[in-house]
């Protein structure tokens, strides 16, 4: 009786893991959506630049392209999240050992062995996205005073420190 109850509970846990398929599927849908938005944004930038009578400011053009890069990175972040969630909760659930598992073809840096690996990978992408957002703001701001230049330098220092602390292991 105890063994049967234990097996029933274990089967319930295995079934509950399948709920993560919802996040996997919608993350993939979200990634495709964000990639399409990014592509349309780049097409819009090219169209506006091509049809304009005068060349747009390099600052504005750079800021717009950085927004597009940010969108593509967001799509990549969603894909990595969906792959990692699938790999951790679905694929590894139905195998007894790692040697029995069919390893999907993926680069070494994308091999996710634990939730901590997934968090580290996602954190790296989020830091890159925040850095691009900072760079976009830095390109569009006019530095007219010493205080604004000092704050810009402080921001660069903090970004560098963040990268250093996250990669120091």
CA angle 20, 22, 34 (to 5 degrees): 115
Domain boundaries, the chain: 2-141
pLDDT at 75 over 90: yes
CA distance 81 to 35: 15
The pTM (predicted TM-score) of the whole model is: 0.74
Does 4 or 29 have the greater pLDDT score?
A: 29
Helix (H, G, I), strand (E, B) or coil at 153: helix
Which range has the top average pLDDT, 32-46, 61-75, 78-92?
32-46
The answer to whether residues 125 and 142 touch, using CB atoms and an 8 Å cutoff, is no
């Amino acid at each position: 009786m105890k063994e049967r109850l234990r097996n029933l509970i274990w089967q319930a846990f295995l079934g509950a893991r399948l709920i993560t398929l919802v996040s996997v599927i919608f993350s993939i849908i979200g990634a495709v959506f964000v990639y399409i938005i990014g592509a349309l944004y780049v097409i819009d930038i090219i169209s506006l630049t091509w049809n304009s009578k005068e060349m747009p400011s390099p600052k504005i053009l750079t800021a717009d392209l950085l927004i597009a890069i940010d969108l593509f990175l967001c799509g990549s972040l969603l894909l990595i999240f969906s792959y990692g969630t699938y790999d951790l909760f679905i694929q590894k659930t139905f195998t007894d050992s790692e040697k029995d598992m069919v390893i999907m073809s993926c680069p070494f840096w994308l091999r996710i062995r634990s939730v901590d690996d997934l968090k580290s990978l996602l954190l790296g992408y989020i830091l890159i996205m925040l850095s691009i957002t900072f760079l976009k703001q830095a390109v569009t701001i006019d530095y007219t005073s010493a205080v604004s230049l000092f704050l810009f330098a402080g921001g660069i220092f903090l970004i560098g420190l963040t990268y250093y602390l996250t990669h120091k292991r």
